[in-house]
Amino acid sequence: MTLETMPLSKAMNAGLRQAMENDPKVLLMGEDIGKLGGVFRVTEHLQRDYGEKRVLDTPLAESGIVGTAIGLAMTGFRPVIEIQFDGFVFPAFDQITTQLAKLTNRHEGRISLPIVIRIPYGGHIGAVEHHQESPEAYFAHTPGLRVVSPSTPNDAYWMIQEAIASNDPVIFMEPKSRYWQKGEVELDASAAPLHASRVVRTGTDVTLVGHGAMVTTLLQAAALAEAEGTSCEVVDVRSLSPVDYAPILDSVRKTGHMVYAQEAQGFVSIGSEIAATVMERAFYALEAPVLRVSGYDTPFPPAKLEGLYLPDADRILEAVDRSLAY
């Protein structure tokens, strides 16, 4: 097995490079992704190595970028779009939800749209308005879109390749606060299924569930809980649509307690859906209600307040204590 330690951003770059190497129909499109290599340098040197016809610097027009990608996909290409920041995706929302998500169904399956839309999302980088948001629930709510989010460099490397290989449109949510977090990447291993949840820490007392950047925070909370005598199992959802419930339900049936944590607002969210489904499918195994820890139901605050807005290990541990107190 070949292991290489790299940050998540470099793992994304390596995964994109491998996908382009494997298939000449893979094209990258986005604002400043070519010569600059993207704001977060995820596409660094790819235009140099593959040329301007495969790594395209586009105008600042997200709706036009997605519309162009749809046309390219209908003629056999596999476009990968970078949305520079999460809040910039909304000018393209109409194209994504009324065209990209529905065209295959509208044509009764006669066409496929193998498009990946990469969206850096979430907080913890001290940015301004429209640069720190968590819009994943909008896309998970839309039939016809697959939605995934890696939490580790290894998942980033493999999941981006699997997403590009998919014949369905994939919204690829990248936790921007973890771009610089390093981890081992198994360069020659077989990939886990794109839409599989995974237990990343075993435990017996409480199940902690989350996605994206929050998985690291859950692991931090689990380590602190262990020091106090509470054993937490951590499940990384990885795929937000469809959701692989089996590992989550198996864990809940073992522990009897569950806490879901996310950066996004709590109302009508990924955590809401998963909590409701666990309550339906594992009701008799639960010894307490499923609890949720989330961002607050307000617009994302200025940088100096984001530490109060975003869930941290302490807020998760408070929920663990409340769950065990039932």
Which residues belong to the active site? 131
Q: What is the DSSP code (8-state) at residue 299?
A: P
Residue 39, classed as helix, strand or coil, is coil
Give the closest residue to 284 by CA, choosing from 253, 318, 259.
Answer: 253
Spell out a b/e string for 228-258, using b for 16 or more CB atoms within 10 Å of the CB, else e.
eebebbbbbbbbbbebbbebbbbbbeebbbb
How far does CA 110 lie from the centroid of its chain?
29
Burial environment of residue 109 by CB neighbours within 10 A (0 to 12, 13 to 18, 19 or more): exposed
Amino acid present at 266: G
H/E segment holding residue 16 = helix 8-22
At 85, give phi and psi (nearest 5°). Answer: -140, 155
At 122, give phi and psi (nearest 5°). Answer: 95, 180
At 147, give phi and psi (nearest 5°). Answer: -135, 125
Contact (Cβ atoms closer than 8 angstroms) between residue 255 and residue 207:
yes
**Among positive and negative, which fits the CA dihedral 173, 177, 179, 183?**
negative
Sheet holding 26-30, edge to edge: 55-57, 26-30, 78-82, 116-121, 170-175, 146-148, 239-241
Q: What is the DSSP code (8-state) at residue 293?
A: E
The total number of residues shown for the chain amounts to 326
In this structure, what is the dihedral angle of CA atoms 212, 217, 222, 224, given to the nearest 10 degrees?
Answer: 170
Instruction: List the end-to-end C-alpha distance of the chain, in Å, as a whole number.
Output: 46
Rounded-to-integer distance, Cα 313 and Cα 11, Å: 26
